[in-house]
Structure 1
Amino acid sequence: MTILEITQILEELAPLHYAEDFDNTGILVGNPETEVSGVLVTLDTLETVIEEAIAHNCNLIVSFHPIIFGGLKKLTGSSYVERTVIKAIQNQIAIYSMHTALDNSPKGVNAKICEILGIQNPKILIPKKGTLKKLTTYVPKNDAEKVRKSLFAAGAGNIGKYSDCSFNTDGIGSYKANDGANPAKGQIGQIHYEEETQINVVFSAMNEPRIKMALLKHHPYEEVAYEIHTLDNTDLTIGMGMVGHLKNPMEEMQFLELIKKKMKASCIRHSELLGKRIQKVAVLGGSGAFAISAAKASGADVFITADVKYHQFYEAENRMIIADIGHYETEQFTKNLLVDYLTKKIPNFAIRLSESKTNPIKYL
């Protein structure tokens, strides 16, 4: 298999379109057409991880965090980032990063945390904006059904648990074919009036290329009139963080001890205990302080995340507990998730879980 084929499998789980604008995801180093000898899955790509890949004949590293985040203006080996990239290039090892694409995936980072902690029926905490678009096009009435079906087959018209959704309005379209045109209907130089159906369908933004291709392929007109708009509506299955319920309520200290054990946390920094039982739990892997307000609004009893600053703990406002368990600790099981996923998708391929310890924070 090539790098491209494997990354396409990964993007079924976490399409790169899910990634945040500030992020750097996808193939960071390497040629997509290269044949893959083995895959090493890691949370971070460091020099030690490159050495591990070399030792196990893996020429593709699938990394959660991107080693190249900002721009690289030089490669002199003066930083750990430059040295890692140089070593990867020298040894013809490709690096692919998923990061916030997997954060926003409904089966990604936060779903894994919920699985480990036994949080049931999790829902997205902060749905991602700009994930839904709407296509409006105008089709001769007799061709409308064929075009509609082609759009549905390409992924349009899915709303929640419903498929093949569209809104259609009949009317009269007009056009005049000028010199050089090849009209499907009407004559050169004459205004033509045609009974047309206006078709409206909603689709996931990541499917836009396929939707447009289907439209242009199956529409009978030489020049296709259509409009695509990004909707304010949100897909509630895509976004940051999750919130769900414990099967049985737990005492605060009992639940904090459970988090510490299950998430292998050396310590937990938390806000004031409130003396109430815990049942509704919000989680957001990595730096999640930006979601404190959303967690409160969800009615969560506790919000599990990382990298919370001193004054941000006050934002709990005695309405919930903020539990900071560490950045690495919230994301550490992500590589297990990816290994399990790839192993199921390509069971006879060399998929390896990195054994390198990449947590930069040590505890006394």
Structure 2
Amino acid sequence: MKCRDLIKQLETIAPVHYAEKWDNVGLIVGDEEQQVNKVLIALDPSTEVIEQAIEQQCDMIITHHPLIFSPMKKITSNDFIGRRILNMMNHSIAYYAMHTNMDIAIMADEAAAMIGLKDTIALEPIESNNLHVGIGRFGKLTRTITLLDLANEVKKQFHLDGVRVVGELTKDIKTVAISTGSGEDFIEHAIERGADVLITGDIRHHKALDAIERNLCIIDAGHYGTERFMVEWLAAHLDVSNVTAMVAKEQSPFKNI
């Protein structure tokens, strides 16, 4: 399969026009005419992931988080981003990122479904006339449960060792906002929707204090923890009978000790 043909499929799954203006999605390194026989899918384009792709003789890497966000004037081996780019180029590995477009097109609904939300709408719609397209989801649980029970369900569904919880563990939870990745910017949206709890990652101390003061509980399942499922989902949904899709071995940079 040509790289451009695989790209067409990726952009059918997650249209690039969904991506935020500040984001950098699409083919970042490589040639659209390149032949692709083996793909490695990962959350991050880390040095370890690139080394796995080289070892497995992959022709393409697909990640959620882009390697390049800000414009680069030079690509050299003097910095870690340049070294990664050069390493991929030297081994003829194409590199594609699907970030906020994937958040909107797939991950919001998938994350909501994982915890059993119904009657969902976007936490932050991107279209004024369509409340179902946007970042995150707000919805209702099928039954009222405690904050502790919901935290345990999040651990189970997202395959996590632990989560951070803000709020009284015995509080009844019925309405839920969820945003994968770094979601403290959506605290206000969650409150406006009337959520009892926001499930997300990367919540800072003072934001947590502000949220609980306004009667919004928080389940911080981590940036990595709330997004890792994207890798397995994409590997399972690529329709590439003549291309081998592999899942990278990676882990959160944070370690529990």
TM-score range, shorter chain: over 0.9
What are the superposed Cα offsets for residues 63-82 of structure 1, whole Å, 9 maximum, x if unpaired?
Answer: 11101111223233233322
Q: Which amino acid aligns with 1:351?
A: A
Superposition TM-score, scaled by structure 2 size:
0.93
Comparing 23-32 with 108-117, greater Cα deviation is found at 108-117
**How far apart, CA to CA, are the structure 2 residues paired with 1:350 and 1:263?**
25
Superposition TM-score, scaled by structure 1 size:
0.67
Q: Does the 8 Å CA contact 1:274/1:321 hold for their aligned counterparts?
A: no
Q: Which residue does the alignment assign to 2:247? A: 353
Q: Which residue does the alignment assign to 2:220? A: 324
Q: Does the 8 Å CA contact 1:44/1:358 hold for their aligned counterparts?
A: no
Comparing 299-308 with 266-275, greater Cα deviation is found at 266-275
Higher gyration radius (CA): 1
**How far apart, CA to CA, are the structure 2 residues paired with 1:326 and 1:79?**
27
Shift of 1:41: 0.8
Query: Which of 185, 210, 232 is matched with 1:336 structurally?
Result: 232
**How far apart, CA to CA, are the structure 2 residues paired with 1:286 and 1:336?**
16
Q: Which amino acid aligns with 2:193?
A: S
Q: Which residue does the alignment assign to 2:89? A: 89
Shift of 1:272: 2.3
Shift of 1:275: 4.2
3-state SS of the aligned residue for 2:176? strand
What are the superposed Cα offsets for residues 292-314 of structure 1, whole Å, 9 maximum, x if unpaired?
Answer: 11111112111001111111112
| Residue 16 to residue 246, structure 1, CA distance change in 2 (3 Å) | same
Q: Does the 8 Å CA contact 1:47/1:87 hold for their aligned counterparts?
A: no
Q: Which amino acid aligns with 1:293?
A: E
Q: Does the 8 Å CA contact 1:41/1:351 hold for their aligned counterparts?
A: yes
Comparing 333-342 with 243-252, greater Cα deviation is found at 243-252
3-state SS of the aligned residue for 1:92? coil
Q: Does the 8 Å CA contact 1:62/1:96 hold for their aligned counterparts?
A: yes
For the aligned residue pairs, the C-alpha RMSD in angstroms reads 1.7
Q: Which residue does the alignment assign to 1:309? A: 204
**How far apart, CA to CA, are the structure 1 residues paired with 2:248 and 2:87?**
17
1:182-197 superposed matches below 5 A? none
Matched, 1:78 2:84: no
Q: Which residue does the alignment assign to 2:189? A: 294
**How far apart, CA to CA, are the structure 2 residues paired with 1:74 and 1:362?**
33
Matched, 1:120 2:118: yes
**How far apart, CA to CA, are the structure 2 residues paired with 1:274 and 1:41?**
37
**How far apart, CA to CA, are the structure 2 residues paired with 1:124 and 1:59?**
36
Q: Which amino acid aligns with 1:339?
A: A
Shift of 1:358: 4.2
Q: Which amino acid aligns with 2:226?
A: T
Q: Which amino acid aligns with 2:87?
A: K
Shift of 1:318: 4.2
Query: Which of 234, 238, 243 is matched with 2:138 structurally?
Result: 243
1:1-364 superposed matches below 5 A? 1-105=1-105, 108-129=106-127, 233-273=128-168, 275-316=170-211, 317-342=213-238, 345-355=239-249, 357-364=250-257
3-state SS of the aligned residue for 2:22? coil
What are the superposed Cα offsets for residues 209-251 of structure 1, whole Å, 9 maximum, x if unpaired?
Answer: xxxxxxxxxxxxxxxxxxxxxxxx3332321001122222212
Q: Which amino acid aligns with 2:256?
A: Y
Shift of 1:119: 2.2
3-state SS of the aligned residue for 2:132? coil
3-state SS of the aligned residue for 1:73? coil
Q: Does the 8 Å CA contact 1:65/1:98 hold for their aligned counterparts?
A: yes
3-state SS of the aligned residue for 1:5? helix
Q: Which runs of 5+ in 2 are unaligned?
A: none
| Residue 274 to residue 264, structure 1, CA distance change in 2 (3 Å) | closer
3-state SS of the aligned residue for 2:130? coil
What are the superposed Cα offsets for residues 41-95 of structure 1, whole Å, 9 maximum, x if unpaired?
Answer: 1111122212211222321111111011112232332333222111101001010
Comparing 291-300 with 18-27, greater Cα deviation is found at 291-300
**How far apart, CA to CA, are the structure 1 residues paired with 2:113 and 2:56?**
30
Aligned residues: 256
| Residue 348 to residue 34, structure 1, CA distance change in 2 (3 Å) | closer
**How far apart, CA to CA, are the structure 2 residues paired with 1:276 and 1:318?**
14
Q: Does the 8 Å CA contact 1:29/1:95 hold for their aligned counterparts?
A: yes
Q: Does the 8 Å CA contact 1:46/1:358 hold for their aligned counterparts?
A: no
